[in-house]
Amino acid sequence: MARDRQIALLFPGQGSHSADMRDTVERHRPDLLELAFEEVGPDLFERAADGTRWAQPAIYCAALAGAEELGTEADVMAGHSLGEITALVAAGALDSEDGLRLVAARGRYMQEAADETGNGGMTAVRARDDNRDVIAEVAAANDVAIANDNAPGQLVLSGAVDALDSAEEQLRERGVRSKRLPVAGAFHSPLMEPAIEPFKAAVAAAQFSEPSVPVMSCVTAKPFEDIPAQLVRALTEPVRWLDVVRALDERGVTDYVETGPGTVLTNLVKKSLAMEAAGA
């Protein structure tokens, strides 16, 4: 029996920037441009590839503009990392101006934490059902965190560069492929702890309300309950995107619509559901 149609609206995280972000915002959410320029700088879209300080607010604005362009009525929403905040705004739990200020603060504090701790990075690892335990053991042995569980075939490790070097070598010896990512920070790991207190203060200054539809938390893979606390936890805890996709599937979601920029989440969902079906 076919499922009743259920739509999940997805909001991307860092790494999904594209060249047309500013144009999209100018067309569909011009009200955000002036505030974005005040909070971050007039060159934030041009500098989106230069670091999290610029990338996060640029992607936030573009994703909200993309949602406006789509006009999709969703039954549930989810966002990857910073995309959680965008999803909360789209669901009416936070107004777009406060959301932009919060994302700008988040990007700034994460960039400062990366600069303070120094020598942090992230590595994407080719995972399989039969090597996930090995990857977890190598990560623990080298004091690096599993920062993202993106799909059945992809985990991301986060930590100090020398620790990642050692972990990559040990994984290679075990036949596990990995690739260093072009980011200058150990995001979603304990090395982001310097960002916690200032971000907690920024979150406390924001006004939250009940979302119009459930919004999934990547910390718990369940709908947000304590929004401020879970947003702060997300700085140092893993992005459980695979578990979010599984939870959406269990809720009966039939259609996954990504706001953009990019199609990273669409591809992860397709891979996740296809591999889950093949393993069923």
Secondary structure (DSSP) of 253-271: --EEEE-SSSSHHHHHHHH
User: Residue 1 domain-assigned?
Assistant: no
Residue-range definition of the domain harbouring residue 162? 119-180
Domain boundary (137, 160, 180) is at: 180
**φ and ψ of 34, to 5 deg:** -60, -45
Asked whether residue 98 is domain-assigned, the answer is yes
Task: Say what the pLDDT of residue 175 is.
Answer: 95
Do 58 and 173 belong together in one domain? no
Mean pLDDT of 266-279: 81
DSSP string covering 198-217: HHHHHHHHS-----SS-EE-
Which of these, 252, 270, 204, lies nearest to 231 by C-alpha position? Answer: 204
Residues with a known catalytic role: 81, 188
Report the domain count for the chain: 2
| Number of neighbouring beta carbons within 10 Å of residue 261 | 22
Q: Supply the pLDDT for residue 3.
A: 62
Bridge partners for 253 per DSSP: none
Whole-Å CA distances, 265 to 10, 115, 133: 7, 28, 25
Compute the average pLDDT of residues 99-104: 97
pLDDT in tens, 31-71: 999 899 999 999 999 999 899 999 999 999 999 999 999 99
User: Are 125 and 253 in a shared domain?
Assistant: no
Asked, for residue 152, whether it belongs to a domain, the answer is: yes
The verdict on 77 and 96 lying in the same domain is yes
3-class secondary structure, 128? coil
Tell me, what DSSP letter sits at residue 2?
P
Residue 102 lies in a domain: yes
Task: Say if residue 240 is in the same domain as residue 109.
Answer: yes
170 and 210 inside one domain: no
